[in-house]
A and B are shown apart, each in its own frame.
Chain A
């Protein structure tokens, strides 16, 4: 375990030695952004809309007292969505979708000797293959989180108003009352960290695949597990760190 973490940091270190030209990376990053962004957009939107809807219904269900004004429902939903659902739950989904495909892609390149082919040409295969993935992930994931947040609130609004749990006016009023911008900043900081963790850990797992097709599958599963664990630990640490000041 400790050895593995050490190897992970050495891996991160070798991202930055002997890189290719900026122009090479520019194109690779764009390609990765397209894959990551467009590939995950639908899933992220779908899942977050439903989570927003369900959160709204359940929050309403738990607020049985007539003394609590209805707009509190959307206020609670807003806080939950921005602070936790959008950045963290999406990170779990992101690890499952993007992380596993990064790992299996790199794993396949490894076992079919495509990585060796790059190395023989004198190219630093780690920075050539992995750096664009990490940069693209850090660029795209915050956008996915923003999309998720918007979709979740939209889902909550839709279900809340259509089922008559809350009036449209109350919902919007709740969204706007005692709003603190820092929660959004906090969510974006979290999403940057999670994006980096998922991309780098999944790449690390995929890049170090040894063996055959079976091992590629194992790497891909491990990539998801390790990424999710790292995200949850980071989530806790960031909450301690940023919310205590």
Chain B
């Protein structure tokens, strides 16, 4: 479980995150949703420690991340896996080397064991026989899958995904969403997914946090999202034509 408290971040005069608190539960995807530019990515980066918030705390199963010394921080870091928006694969390495990379630098596993683990994870995300392909040779959806495989290869306790299905076709998006859902349940890890995709929200949004201009306006499950009574959330939800056709039903 990850707990955040009063996360606040300003860039110059601009308050991008204003006192965000909440919890993210284990064994399921926790969604952070909102329109573009509302601070979702900044919030995710503040949680994993890539952007230091002005103040606020993040607790990883009770361990205060920002209050820790360097060693504890690295220890917590090494329990994280993260999927970046574009995949963020190392473009000088092939698929296999990319997925193996965390094992290379973080563990002392023998080579055969690493390879076995890599192939297991690639298979888990539905990729086989692409081990020697370079990132420039594979499609966007495949890059995301490789990114997921790399994120889970070292058995993380926490998985973070920033817009996992941006730039993907609807079918591939659904597959990626289901993969994230399955992984969170099977591996029993705490997963946080940032998205602005209503398909994902309705598909895997068991637990949702809605951000609007840096403020948390609503929290709940997708089953309640259509009747939240929050105007900004309605605007967000019903901006989607399909959703709008369901309005009032």
A-side residues, CB < 8 A to B, are 18, 20, 24, 108-109, 112-114, 116-117, 119-123
Contact = CB atoms under 8 A, between A and B. Distances in A.
A108 B85 CA distance: 15
Given A18-B74, A120-B82, A121-B105, 15 more contacts: A24-B104, A108-B91, A109-B90, A112-B86, A114-B89, A114-B90, A116-B82, A117-B82, A117-B84, A117-B88, A119-B77, A120-B48, A121-B106, A122-B75, A122-B77
Interface in B104-160: 104-106, 160
A121 B160 CA distance: 12
A18 B70 contact: yes
Contacts of B106: 121-122
A123 B105 contact: yes
B102 interface: yes
Interface string B76-109: 0110111011101111000000000110111000
A121 B70 CA distance: 14
B88 A113 contact: yes
B155 to A, nearest CB: 13
Contacts of A113: 84-86, 88
A112 B81 CA distance: 17
Contacts of A120: 48, 50, 77, 80-82, 160
B102 A119 contact: no
Contact of B105 (A20, A109, A112, A119): A20
Contacts of A116: 45, 50, 82, 84, 88
Nearest to B89: A114
A108 B88 CA distance: 10
A123 B106 CA distance: 9
A44 B102 CA distance: 38
Nearest to B160: A120
A130 to B, nearest CB: 15
Contacts of B49: 119
Contacts of B45: 116
B158 to A, nearest CB: 10
Nearest to A117: B88
A123 B75 CA distance: 11
Nearest to B81: A120
Contacts of B160: 120
A76 B86 CA distance: 57
A121 B50 contact: no
Contacts of A119: 49-50, 77
Nearest to B162: A113
B105 to A, nearest CB: 6
A113 B160 CA distance: 14
